[in-house]
Amino acid sequence: MGFDVWSLFLLLALSLWSNSHALKMNPILSRIRRAPQAAEENKKCSYTFLVPEQKITGPICAARGYSTDKDRVTRLDVASVRDLLSKQRQEMETLKLVVDVDGNLVNEMKLLRKESRNMNSRVTQLYMQLLHEIIRKRDNSLELAQLETRILNATAESLRLTSRYKELEAKYAALSAIVNNQSVLIGQLEEHCMQMYSRRHEQPPIGPPLVQVVPENIPVSVPRFTNEIQSRNARGFGPERGSRSGSTPTSTTFQTPPATLFKKSPFRDCQEAQEAGHSTSGMYLIKPDESERTVQAWCEQDIDNGGWTVIQRRKDGSVNFFRNWDNYKTGFGNIDGEYWLGLEAIYKLGRQGDYKLMVEMEDWMDKKVYAQYDSFHLEPESEGYRLRLGTYQGNAGDSLSSHNGKQFTTLDRDKDTFSGNCAHFHKGGWWYNACGQANLNGVWYTGGVYRSKFQDGIFWADYGGGFYSMKSVRMLIRPID
């Protein structure tokens, strides 16, 4: 805009200067042009014109023909014209410099306006960023307030649970004392029965022979000898705490956990559940072929490619395994804790195909061992659910093959080969021989080595011997690959 104004101003100045110069040159030109005309006219007639002398300010034109002294251009006139032209050139140079300076100013103004627009855009961008940052900090403040509220709620809940835990701990201590007292009372009753029997028959009843196997890898660093029946983890203090307390051996059936813990749809076994896309370990509904009812089972999908159905589990002594025939037939316990699936369900599972058995054990040094048999199934109830095993492999030792082909024995149904009832001496139900090298349904003793008149702990003779009670045990079955 500034450059256009200056250009117009320059053109106007040049126009005014040209007009003034033309006015000054007109008299001289008229005088030079009239000289030849006067010479031609002298032939006919002569005229004399008196023209006032004027100062030459423009270009000089030499006239042809006759001219008077007054019409001659002097050197002074030429010098004056030259001086005037020089001044005009200087003015022109000055005007050019002014135009160049003004053009630079115009360019600088354009650059400044462009920078101003960029600065305005940047300021707007920074303002938006600041606004977003303020909003984000406000949201963070709200989230922090909500988090503090949740922390306070969690702290209050933790305090409540701590108080509840102390109450349960006190109840557990009382129950443990009762269990120990009952253990002592049971021992006294056993001695009294033996005395009564000796009075009648002159000889006391002879207990089953003790396990004489000396295991190669007996667990060492045993903290203490104990007869206490208790749980390492205080997980519920129901009526079935301990193997010798709580409800009577005839009480039965599973304790139903929350319904949300079960997976959808009953399956033939846990391998079918795995093939259906259920790759996580948990509780599932199992309905074997030929079975009239659905049972709850724990499916182990995290070891040896998964697909294992857990038929027995011991871990904390929270469930009493000294039970009668009907209990062992239908099953009992807690699916997410200690439980027995049931002889009838195990029998129906084995009828679906060829299964193998794995016994997984853990001692009190947290070492895990296993024994696996390449075939496993039970015969029907008419045959006392007789055990049928295949070939052994593993690192725990083979303590179950001596029970192969034996019927199941409980406290109210004696099927073993011993003169007495092995279930009475070993405090559980099992495929006893006379009475055998394994007792995985016995009493859960804490600490490993236990002290008892009879070998009634959870023992595996080839690993620890008959007076070492395992920390945890699982029996799992899966179809043969």
Token pair recorded at residue 58: 């423009």
pLDDT for the residue 249: 41
pLDDT for the residue 227: 42
| Radius of gyration for the chain, computed over Cα atoms and rounded to the nearest angstrom | 59
3-class secondary-structure state, position 280: coil
Q: What is the C-alpha to C-alpha distance for residues 128 and 137, in angstroms, rounded to an integer?
A: 14
**What is each CA distance from 141 to 127, 144, 148, 343, 375, in whole angstroms?**
21, 5, 10, 60, 63
**Of 394, 371, 389, the residue nearest 440 (C-alpha):** 371
Q: What is the C-alpha to C-alpha distance for residues 387 and 409, in angstroms, rounded to an integer?
A: 11
pLDDT for the residue 420: 86
Give residue 230's identity as a one-letter amino acid code: Q
**What is each CA distance from 188 to 191, 350, 420, in whole angstroms?**
5, 43, 20
Supply the DSSP string of 423-463, one letter for each residue. Answer: HHHHTS-B--SSS-SEETTSB--TTSBB--SS--BSEETTB
Residue ranges per structural domain of the chain: 88-197, 270-479
Residues paired with 282 in a beta bridge? 299
Contact of 95 with 10, CB cutoff 8 Å? yes
Q: Are strands 253-255 and 332-334 parallel, antiparallel or unpaired?
A: parallel
pLDDT for the residue 54: 55
Q: What is the C-alpha to C-alpha distance for residues 38 and 44, in angstroms, rounded to an integer?
A: 10
Contact of 314 with 231, CB cutoff 8 Å? no
pLDDT for the residue 80: 87
3-class secondary-structure state, position 61: coil
Q: What is the C-alpha to C-alpha distance for residues 157 and 163, in angstroms, rounded to an integer?
A: 10
Helix (H) or strand (E) holding 370: strand 368-378
Supply the DSSP string of 91-144, one letter for each residue. Answer: HHHHHHHHHHHHHHHHHHHHHHHHHHHHHHHHHHHHHHHHHHHHHHHHHHHHHH
Kindly state the greatest CA–CA separation across the chain: 200
pLDDT for the residue 464: 87
3-class secondary-structure state, position 375: strand
Give residue 191's identity as a one-letter amino acid code: E
Token pair recorded at residue 423: 């279930």
Give residue 213's identity as a one-letter amino acid code: V
Q: What is the C-alpha to C-alpha distance for residues 337 and 334, in angstroms, rounded to an integer?
A: 5
Q: What is the C-alpha to C-alpha distance for residues 352 and 346, in angstroms, rounded to an integer?
A: 10
3-class secondary-structure state, position 222: coil
Query: Rounded to the nearest 5 degrees, what angle is found at the Cα of 330, between the Cα atoms of 475 and 274?
Result: 50
Q: What is the C-alpha to C-alpha distance for residues 162 and 48, in angstroms, rounded to an integer?
A: 143
3-class secondary-structure state, position 169: helix
* Residue whose entry in the numeric block shows the structure tokens 């003004």: 102
Contact of 439 with 425, CB cutoff 8 Å? no
**Of 357, 354, 358, 325, the residue nearest 342 (C-alpha):** 325
pLDDT for the residue 174: 81
**Of 460, 439, 448, the residue nearest 397 (C-alpha):** 460
Q: What is the C-alpha to C-alpha distance for residues 263 and 79, in angstroms, rounded to an integer?
A: 121
46: Cβ contacts below 8 Å, ≥ 6 apart: 38
Contact of 369 with 394, CB cutoff 8 Å? yes
Helix (H) or strand (E) holding 255: strand 253-255
**Of 403, 408, 365, 401, the residue nearest 384 (C-alpha):** 408
- Give the single-character DSSP code of 19: H
Token pair recorded at residue 164: 């509840």
**What is each CA distance from 469 to 195, 336, 451, 458, in whole angstroms?**
29, 21, 10, 5
pLDDT for the residue 69: 55
Q: Which fold has domain 270-479?
A: Gamma Fibrinogen; Chain A, domain 1 (3.90.215)
Q: Tell me the pLDDT of the chain (481 aa) as tens digits.
A: 555 556 666 666 666 666 555 555 555 444 444 544 544 545 556 556 565 655 555 555 555 554 555 556 688 888 888 888 888 888 888 888 888 888 888 888 888 888 888 888 888 888 898 988 899 888 888 888 888 888 988 888 888 888 888 888 888 878 877 776 776 677 677 777 767 666 655 555 566 766 655 455 556 544 433 444 433 333 333 333 333 333 344 344 554 444 444 555 689 999 999 999 999 999 999 999 888 889 999 999 999 999 999 999 999 999 999 999 999 999 999 998 999 999 999 999 999 999 999 999 999 999 999 999 999 999 999 999 999 999 999 999 999 999 999 999 999 999 898 888 999 999 999 999 888 899 999 999 998 888 888 889 999 999 988 889 999 999 999 999 8
